[in-house]
Structure 1
């Protein structure tokens, strides 16, 4: 008699991902069953993310950097640059934060991450019903605010998209914050991309 493993293929890749030893200076994420590794980001990227974090009031919101997020019904464990959760909803511990607790995720675009941030993660975060997805893009000097997630799996998307150039304020209504982008830097000598 032959034994058949009828578990979905994703079970195996999740186990491999969780046991993976990632070299220092490399970020690893599981995105729809694919392990994606990227180098550490540029200082410009990190300063923009830190500036956003500083503008979100800590008295009301937990602002977590590099927190793994568990996307319900997905073989995905993305690691956003910033995760915002209401302080009273934050669990006491755990590596994976359930997406249904998250109010906003923030991704800073780097030279190699535009496709992942604008296409793959947009769909993943929408599938996880994360209400607000903010893309900070120092290549195109713009913020892309995505709200109203809808749909399932790879067909999931955000129904509302607002593009704001660096220098103009971005209203983050769900957080009660008007984001000042006037100090956001840009990446020099990087070829523009075609997103969103």
Structure 2
């Protein structure tokens, strides 16, 4: 019989992850002890992120791309497509932003990120008690707004889920604004998926 060590690989895996240098144009994340690498995103993806960023007022909110988020009690350092933090809560420096400071994270779904965005990151962000998680899906042409995080670890989830089709406004109460989705692009010739 083979013994299996099922303890979380927090310290060791985080150390290995932080020492890795990804190739040019590759995004790298640590999600529950698994190192995930993805190629650079599509133009549709980048334009959606830019459009969301432009609608969030800089006077009140810091809108950060490629910012690593530290989720306590997790072997995870996700890098959301957009992280929104109150300007007065933003630290002066550091690679890891504590999840307790984050007001909202945004992920734009790509062909290769569907499961991570809808399942894995959903419980990671909920476990980190991030108040709002907005999934923007150019494959299915809709937004999924998740709020009211509850639970711990892999059992964590958002208690409220609202699906809004592209073109309709998304009420982002946590930011005190309504997001215009009418200009969001879509990914043509991509097979639909089964999420959320």
Q: CA deviation at 1:12?
A: 1.1
Residue matched to 2:32: 32
CA distance in 1, matches of 2:49, 2:114: 16
Q: CA deviation at 1:174?
A: 1.1
CA distance in 1, matches of 2:185, 2:81: 16
How many residues were matched structurally? 190
Residue matched to 1:126: 126
Where does 1:1-196 land on structure 2 (aligned, <5 Å)? 9-196=9-196
Question: Per the alignment, do residues 8 and 108 of structure 1 end up closer, same or farther by CA in structure 2, a change over 3 Å counting?
Answer: closer
- What is the TM-score normalised by the length of structure 2? 0.96
CA distance in 2, matches of 1:10, 1:78: 14
Moved beyond 2 Å, runs of 4+ = 7-10
RMSD: 0.9
2:170–2:179 Cα contact (<8 Å) kept:
yes
Structure 2 runs not aligned, ≥5 long:
1-6
Q: CA deviation at 1:11?
A: 1.2
Q: Secondary structure in 2 aligned to 1:50?
A: helix
Q: Secondary structure in 1 aligned to 2:174?
A: helix
Q: CA deviation at 1:9?
A: 3.0
CA distance in 1, matches of 2:9, 2:80: 24
Q: CA deviation at 1:8?
A: 5.5
- What is the TM-score normalised by the length of structure 1? 0.96
CA distance in 2, matches of 1:60, 1:131: 17
CA distance in 1, matches of 2:109, 2:134: 11
Superposed CA deviations along residues 137-186 of structure 1, whole A, max 9, x for unmatched, are 00000000000000000000000000000000000011011100000000
